[in-house]
């Protein structure tokens, strides 16, 4: 018999969302240092950084604008408000972290696996507190909520599109490492974010 769900308190949400932002911003910084992209809206923002010389956080929030309208329409105001707050926090963190975390060298295998996994953990933190990083994450969580389609599987399909576009600019060796980072990121969702496993609201 499944135990009844216990709603999160406001403090639970604040802590969970803060952890999610911390994980994602550190993971993005690791991948950005290595010149990699990854899946989802994070990958789109990293890919845009190859073309546009702006802070990754600015590109992240600008990329998310059209997805916020979809979020409001399909996921509701509470989810969208939390997601918007997460985006603002990520933008701020992305501007601060490069001054707090200085990296001289990082092996691409470590960067792809650890960077991708940390981002995936951050996305999982957000999802369990009714928020997301926005972008394709909104679509995958909506698909899981409404149709029961695993968010990780949907995310992987959308990531294929991001990597096909990345072929235009990202060198082949970095693209291969980037794909590995996306696999590491989505493995977190495939393994741990399943319908019915976690019912806290």
Per-residue pLDDT tens digits for 150-161: 777 787 788 888
pLDDT of 114 over the 90 cut: yes
* Distant-in-sequence, close-in-space partners of 82: CB < 8 Å, separation ≥ 6: 13, 17, 126, 129, 130, 131
Tell if the pTM clears 0.75, that is, is over it.
Answer: yes
Identify whether the C-beta of residue 44 lies closer than 8 Å to the C-beta of residue 137.
no
CA of 68: how far to CAs of 65, 76, 92, 179, in Å?
5, 10, 18, 26
d(CA 12, CA 4): 18
State the chain's mean pLDDT as an integer. 82
- Residue 176 tokens read as 């291969």
Q: Minimal CA–CA distance to 26: which of 109, 114, 156, 141?
A: 114
Q: What tens digit of pLDDT does each residue of 41-72 get?
A: 778 888 888 888 887 778 888 888 888 888 88
> Where do the H-state alpha helices sit in 75-128?
77-100, 108-127
151 or 109, greater pLDDT = 109
pLDDT of 146 over the 70 cut: yes
Q: What tens digit of pLDDT does each residue of 162-199 get?
A: 888 888 888 888 889 988 988 898 888 777 655 555 54
d(CA 66, CA 50): 21
Identify whether the C-beta of residue 169 lies closer than 8 Å to the C-beta of residue 43.
no
pLDDT of 147 over the 90 cut: no
**Within the chain, how many helices (H) and strands (E) appear?**
8, 0
Q: Where are the domains of the chain?
A: 10-192
- Amino acid 166: pLDDT: 86
pLDDT of 12 over the 90 cut: no
- Residue 50 tokens read as 């190859």
- Amino acid 99: pLDDT: 86
pLDDT of 200 over the 70 cut: no
Identify whether the C-beta of residue 21 lies closer than 8 Å to the C-beta of residue 90.
yes
């Amino acid at each position: 018999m499944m135990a009844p769900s216990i709603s999160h308190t406001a403090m639970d949400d604040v802590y969970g969302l803060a952890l999610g932002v911390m994980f994602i911003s550190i993971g993005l910084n690791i991948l950005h240092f290595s010149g990699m992209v990854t899946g989802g809206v994070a990958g789109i923002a990293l890919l845009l950084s190859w073309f546009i010389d702006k802070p990754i956080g600015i590109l992240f929030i600008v990329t998310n604008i059209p997805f916020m309208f979809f979020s409001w329409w399909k996921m509701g105001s509470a989810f969208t408000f939390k997601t918007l707050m997460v985006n603002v926090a990520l933008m701020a963190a992305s501007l601060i972290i490069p001054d707090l975390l200085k990296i001289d060298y990082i092996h691409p295998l470590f960067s792809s696996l650890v960077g991708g996994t940390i981002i995936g953990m951050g996305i999982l933190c957000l999802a369990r507190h009714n928020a997301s990083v926005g972008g394709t994450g909104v679509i995958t969580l909506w698909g899981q909520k409404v149709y029961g389609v695993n968010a990780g599987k949907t995310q992987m399909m959308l990531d294929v599109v991001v990597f096909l576009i990345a072929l235009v600019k990202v060198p082949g060796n970095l693209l291969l490492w980037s794909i590995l980072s996306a696999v590491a990121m989505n493995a977190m969702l495939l393994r741990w974010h399943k319908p019915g496993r976690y019912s806290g609201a």
